A and B are shown apart, each in its own frame.
Chain A
């Protein structure tokens, strides 16, 4: 864990914090993109090229664009008058603390289950591809079916609206 780790962690955390605290929704969406980029850098720092570039392609290229589109289309881009902080923020506090505790416990427990002196597996993109269409072909197909169903559902929703408008 060198200086790179702390640098990337600082960028990611700064992006996430800015996404929470910035008033303007579009600014928040762009700040969360910085956090996504930080996560991609983490993957690259761990020498996981495929995961890192897929993270950039999917999260920065698609999810962030989808978020800003949703903001613009739902007229949420106006500034809220009474601040961005909800009045019931203290309810969220135990939930967040609980999730953090569970995640922390899982990370600490996993370091016992998987001893860190095991050699780092050298996984290249070819191996990932072979695994995806070999051993994990059924989950892949199920996911593809799910996504196709979602796409058809989205088209159906859009079509219905159009007919009603006539």
Chain B
């Protein structure tokens, strides 16, 4: 396709606008300082952009949930209620910071700080656009999961140090859930690593940033990739404690779970940490399965790459909100059974299918075989577990 050189030049400049701005800002400095200042600038941008997105998302979430529940949502502060997060921020800053008398002061303080720091670290390896990655690590995916694993400890610290039964119960639930679903999260991304042959996230994006007949080579458009993506999405929802897996904070049972005893800005930090975890896990899902910053059709490559990345992330956030407004909360035993008896076996099967895909070579045969195996297994597992459920008219033990 022939585009005029002016348009092409403009689109390349827009695509690299952040890199160009950064280089312009640092070109006054002596060359020896430049790498360090570059890193500091990128960190500052990450630390500003994602909390900004968080503020925007809280409004969208409350408005979206309101629409789903047939009400208006916040509409008093500013135009259409869009200044609500500012009001919320001022409120949480001016609120008294209450620490329970019997609480473990140091751990109670450290828990939200460690959570936010660990979550922010995950953004370091995410490629957010062409050439837009803070640290292009050889073991980037492993780094991301290592940082994700460290958040579990901060949840435990919060729950245990509060000396409150609801906090402790919430923390225990959260950790049990996070450990169970982390296995799935890791295994579903292993299939991507098997195909790409690298843990480097930029390489994973590059492998998907190819087009045949104008259509992209995203991993979600392959049978194994679709299955792995669905399993990844389930595990990511559970890992971020979002509805329908929001048992750790189930407000009808546990007050607010592990952050029951937090108030003021520490509570705001937990809130921020949860939303940042949502952004980073959506960003990783985008990178692994949805082609990262690559455009959905070859003709759309004129649009800057970072728009695609953030667009895909915000789409995933919208799905999170949609699910929260739609699905009821699971029970603890349902949660565990679902993880260990359905999601994990299916992910393991998907690993086998991925290996087959890798060694069957090009051609239509591998599409047919892997789709047949995955669909057959899905139907079979569903039938067997439905058969075991023994659906019958419900009997109430004490209220007949």
Contact = CB atoms under 8 A, between A and B. Distances in A.
Contact of B199 (A69, A72, A125): A125
Contacts of B197: 126
Interface stretch (B90-98, B144-152, B264-272): B144-152
B137 A49 contact: yes
Q: Which of A26, A30, A61, A62: most chain B CB closer than 10 A? A: A61
A126 B199 CA distance: 8
Q: How many A residues are at the interface, by size bracket?
A: 20 to 34
Interface in A43-89: 49-50, 53-54, 56-57, 60-62, 64-65, 68-69, 72
Interface in B142-198: 142-143, 145-150, 152-153, 156-157, 160, 168, 172, 175, 179, 182, 197-198
A30 B157 contact: yes
Contacts of B138: 49, 124-126
B319 interface: no
B150 A56 contact: yes
A12 interface: no
Contacts of A69: 172, 175
Contact of A49 (B107, B139, B198): B139
A65 B179 contact: yes
Contact of B150 (A26, A49, A60): A60
A65 B180 CA distance: 13
The binding surface of chain B is classed by DSSP as helix
Contacts of B179: 62, 65
Contacts of B137: 49
Nearest to A128: B139
Nearest to B161: A26
**Which size class do B's interface residues fall under?**
20 to 34
A56 B175 contact: no
A61 B150 contact: yes
Given A30-B107, A69-B175, A64 B153 contact: yes
B3 to A, nearest CB: 37
B153 A57 contact: no
Interface string B279-313: 00000000000000000000000000000000000
B146 A53 contact: yes
Contact of A65 (B142, B146, B152): B152
A64 B137 CA distance: 26
A57 B107 contact: no
A26 B198 CA distance: 38
A69 B168 CA distance: 11
Nearest to A49: B139
Enumerate the 10 nearest inter-chain pairs by beta-carbon distance, A residue then B residue, closest first.
A61-B149, A56-B146, A53-B142, A49-B139, A53-B146, A57-B146, A125-B139, A124-B138, A57-B149, A125-B138
8 contacts: A49-B143, A53-B145, A56-B150, A57-B145, A60-B146, A65-B156, A68-B156, A126-B198
Given A30-B153, A68-B153, A124-B138, 6 more contacts: A30-B157, A56-B150, A61-B152, A65-B153, A69-B175, A126-B197
Interface of B: 107, 137-139, 142-143, 145-150, 152-153, 156-157, 160, 168, 172, 175, 179, 182, 197-199
